[in-house]
Chain A
Amino acid sequence: MSAADTSAVVSLRGVSKSFAGGGVTALSSIDLDVRPGEFVSLIGPSGCGKSTLLRIVGDLVEPSSGEVVVNGKSARQARLDRDYGIVFQDAVLYDWRTVAKNIALPLELAGWSGARRAERVRDMVELVELKGFEGHHPWQLSGGMQQRVSIARALSFDPALLLMDEPFGALDEMTRERLNGELLRIWEASGSTIVFVTHSISEAVFLSTRVVVMSRRPGRIAAVVDVDLQHPRNADTREEPRFFELVTAVRDRLREGGLDEDSTAPGEGELLVVEETP
């Protein structure tokens, strides 16, 4: 096992996680480097620990063993330095704050002046195309708009890293595809590094520069698929032959060893989840 790479935005070495007093192994010796400007997706069946891995990077969950380096420092120091923004499946907007105030929350906590906050919020609202909704409360917005506020909030303080935990999982297919396009545009404009957890193969391929395929519990990295689709990507990208080839490649990696989440292989289910050992 080589040492963690401090020039990477995220560097994981031998990261494992056990829950319930060591009874359940969620993650097993994960090694991964994410370079500046990369868009890396983590994909795998339910319960493979991909959300846990994201939380370990964000120092919201502690690993049982292994080394986690974020932005060249410990995950904890990176969190305390506000080096990353995070977006959850649920937008997690505070009902008592307007759209503008939700976006400004991390800026307030970082002690920005009111004038600076207002200016940044204006830019962010423009970036996620929510002009005219600054004074609305979250419950007055559709699910897709709420998630755009959440993304604006995560980007508002210019973090080096954006962590996204199935951010579009609760949205309908059409809204999801539109927001995929917007996210790519935002990523290209901001130059940030993104680690993105998803269930959707086509979403992972469309968005990422690399797709990390994870195996069933205990979660391991089963394969890494490089996505060589041209940038900027748009709706036409989804119809390119190369797109289908890559989707198939990711699906095959997931399926190897009965890892496909919608596999109908006999014995599929809870029993398999417990004792999977490749």
Chain B
Amino acid sequence: MSSRAGRIAAEWLPALVLFVAGIALWEGAVRGFGIQNFLLPAPSAIADTLWADRGELWSAAFFTFREAVAGFVLGCSAGFLAAVVLARWRLLQAAVMPYAIAAGAIPIIAFAPITNNWFGVTGMTSKIVIAAILCFFPVMVNTTRGLTSVPASAIELMRSYAASEATIFRRVRLPNSLPYVFSGLKVATVLAMIGAIVGDYFGGAPGALGVEIRRWVGIFAFDQAWAGIVLASLLGILFYGSVALVERMTMGWHPSVRGARAE
């Protein structure tokens, strides 16, 4: 084993130990105290269900995941484009930013029944829209900050080279904004999953994960409900992780990615 692999293993070992211990404790508590299945199923029971009902679970999860990804793409693109416009026109930015920041403080998810009402309960559209709205604000606010928080001297330097506004945008503002954009995107992955699943809770297509979780709880199929939640969590982590991976690949230059300075 190379020293690098060894270092990574040593870094992750405590987290891995905690995970295994947590699962063991959970399993032991459910068995030892005879906790009722409807209160908390044992991890082994959830794992069994995950495997036994994999077809149904997977198709439900994939349906909702597609809603989340579509909302993410839509909301993040709109948020990014809005930020480009706001960064260009400062007056507009001054007018809009307070509301955009305030929007981060309101529970947008509360609008889910309204979007269901507007775009149809059983279709994907209403869930995509709520996920998109959730994603829009953090990406817009972060991107605007990244595009505008450029040191004055960095802009002066470009002007000294007779660079146009478009060149300054492409060569300075855009790369400068990347760390901000990615932190917005990572938050957005989580919000998109929440939007899609909670949107389903207020009514969705039969076979959507949120709809199924509610149905399973209704018929006391708690193993299935928990399996659905676990699957949603795994997809959420996968989603977040893939954005984080893209971040690492596009920002290899960034100190946060590359580690400490080498004097």
B11 contacts partner chain A, Cβ-Cβ < 8 Å: no
* A79 and B159 contacting across the interface, CB-CB below 8 Å: yes
Distance to closest chain B CB from A83 (angstroms): 10
* A139 and B157 contacting across the interface, CB-CB below 8 Å: no
Q: Take A95-B253, A96-B254, A139-B261 as given contacts and tell me if A86 and B162 are in contact as well, using a CB distance cutoff of 8 Å.
A: no
* B253 and A137 contacting across the interface, CB-CB below 8 Å: yes
* A55 and B162 contacting across the interface, CB-CB below 8 Å: no
| Among A94, A141, A142, contact of B172 (Cβ-Cβ < 8 Å) | A94
| Among B156, B160, B171, B175, contact of A84 (Cβ-Cβ < 8 Å) | B160
Q: Take A82-B161, A140-B261 as given contacts and tell me if A95 and B156 are in contact as well, using a CB distance cutoff of 8 Å.
A: no
B234 contacts partner chain A, Cβ-Cβ < 8 Å: no
B14 contacts partner chain A, Cβ-Cβ < 8 Å: no
* B161 and A88 contacting across the interface, CB-CB below 8 Å: no
Who on chain B is nearest to A110 by CB?
B161
A249 contacts partner chain B, Cβ-Cβ < 8 Å: no
* A55 and B156 contacting across the interface, CB-CB below 8 Å: yes
Q: Take A90-B151, A92-B153, A140-B262 as given contacts and tell me if A106 and B161 are in contact as well, using a CB distance cutoff of 8 Å.
A: yes
B255 contacts partner chain A, Cβ-Cβ < 8 Å: yes
B242 contacts partner chain A, Cβ-Cβ < 8 Å: no
Who on chain A is nearest to B172 by CB?
A94
| Among A58, A94, A96, contact of B160 (Cβ-Cβ < 8 Å) | A58
B258 contacts partner chain A, Cβ-Cβ < 8 Å: yes
Produce 1/0 per residue, A93-110, CB < 8 A to B.
Answer: 011111000000110011
* B263 and A142 contacting across the interface, CB-CB below 8 Å: yes
Who on chain A is nearest to B254 by CB?
A95
* A109 and B163 contacting across the interface, CB-CB below 8 Å: yes
* A60 and B255 contacting across the interface, CB-CB below 8 Å: no
| Among B154, B161, B167, B262, contact of A94 (Cβ-Cβ < 8 Å) | B154
Could you say which of A85, A90, A137 has the most chain B C-beta atoms within 10 Å of its C-beta? A137
| Among A97, A98, A105, contact of B161 (Cβ-Cβ < 8 Å) | A105
A80 contacts partner chain B, Cβ-Cβ < 8 Å: yes
Instruction: Compute how far the CA of A78 lies from the CA of B262 in the bound complex, rounded to whole angstroms.
Output: 39
| Among B151, B156, B261, contact of A86 (Cβ-Cβ < 8 Å) | B156
Contact residues on A (Cβ < 8 Å of other chain), bracket: 20 to 34
By a CB distance below 8 angstroms, the chain B residues around A80 are 162
Who on chain B is nearest to A89 by CB?
B153
By a CB distance below 8 angstroms, the chain B residues around A105 are 161, 171
* B151 and A82 contacting across the interface, CB-CB below 8 Å: no
By a CB distance below 8 angstroms, the chain B residues around A92 are 151, 153-154, 157
Instruction: Compute how far the CA of A86 lies from the CA of B161 in the bound complex, rounded to whole angstroms.
Output: 9
Instruction: Compute how far the CA of A139 lies from the CA of B260 in the bound complex, rounded to whole angstroms.
Output: 9
* B172 and A88 contacting across the interface, CB-CB below 8 Å: no
* A109 and B161 contacting across the interface, CB-CB below 8 Å: yes
Distance to closest chain B CB from A93 (angstroms): 9
Who on chain A is nearest to B253 by CB?
A96
Instruction: Compute how far the CA of A136 lies from the CA of B251 in the bound complex, rounded to whole angstroms.
Output: 15
* B175 and A82 contacting across the interface, CB-CB below 8 Å: no
Instruction: Compute how far the CA of A98 lies from the CA of B253 in the bound complex, rounded to whole angstroms.
Output: 8
* A60 and B254 contacting across the interface, CB-CB below 8 Å: no
Instruction: Compute how far the CA of A90 lies from the CA of B175 in the bound complex, rounded to whole angstroms.
Output: 19
Who on chain B is nearest to A106 by CB?
B161
* B162 and A79 contacting across the interface, CB-CB below 8 Å: yes
By a CB distance below 8 angstroms, the chain A residues around B178 are 96
By a CB distance below 8 angstroms, the chain A residues around B172 are 94
Produce 1/0 per residue, B98-124, CB < 8 A to A.
Answer: 000000000000000000000000000
By a CB distance below 8 angstroms, the chain B residues around A96 are 175, 178, 251, 253-254
Instruction: Compute how far the CA of A106 lies from the CA of B167 in the bound complex, rounded to whole angstroms.
Output: 12
* B167 and A109 contacting across the interface, CB-CB below 8 Å: yes
Could you say which of A80, A85, A92, A97 has the most chain B C-beta atoms within 10 Å of its C-beta? A92
Distance to closest chain B CB from A31 (angstroms): 24
CB neighbors of B among A96-132 (8 A): 96-98, 105-106, 109-110
By a CB distance below 8 angstroms, the chain A residues around B251 are 96
* B161 and A60 contacting across the interface, CB-CB below 8 Å: no
CB neighbors of A among B228-263 (8 A): 251, 253-255, 258, 261-263
Using a CB–CB cutoff of 8 Å, the interface residues on chain A facing chain B are 55, 58, 60, 79-82, 84-86, 88, 90, 92, 94-98, 105-106, 109-110, 136-137, 139-142
If A58-B156, A79-B160 are given as contacts, then 19 extra A-B residue pairs at C-beta distance below 8 Å, sorted by A number, are A58-B160, A60-B156, A60-B159, A79-B159, A85-B160, A86-B156, A88-B153, A88-B156, A90-B151, A90-B153, A94-B154, A95-B253, A97-B253, A105-B161, A106-B161, A109-B161, A139-B255, A140-B262, A141-B261
Q: List 30 A-B contacts (CB under 8 A).
A: A58-B156, A79-B160, A79-B162, A80-B162, A81-B162, A84-B160, A85-B160, A86-B156, A86-B157, A90-B151, A90-B153, A92-B151, A92-B153, A92-B157, A95-B253, A96-B175, A96-B178, A96-B253, A97-B253, A98-B253, A105-B161, A105-B171, A106-B161, A109-B161, A109-B163, A136-B262, A137-B253, A137-B258, A139-B261, A140-B261
Closest 7 CB pairs of A and B: A96-B253, A96-B175, A88-B153, A80-B162, A86-B160, A92-B153, A139-B255
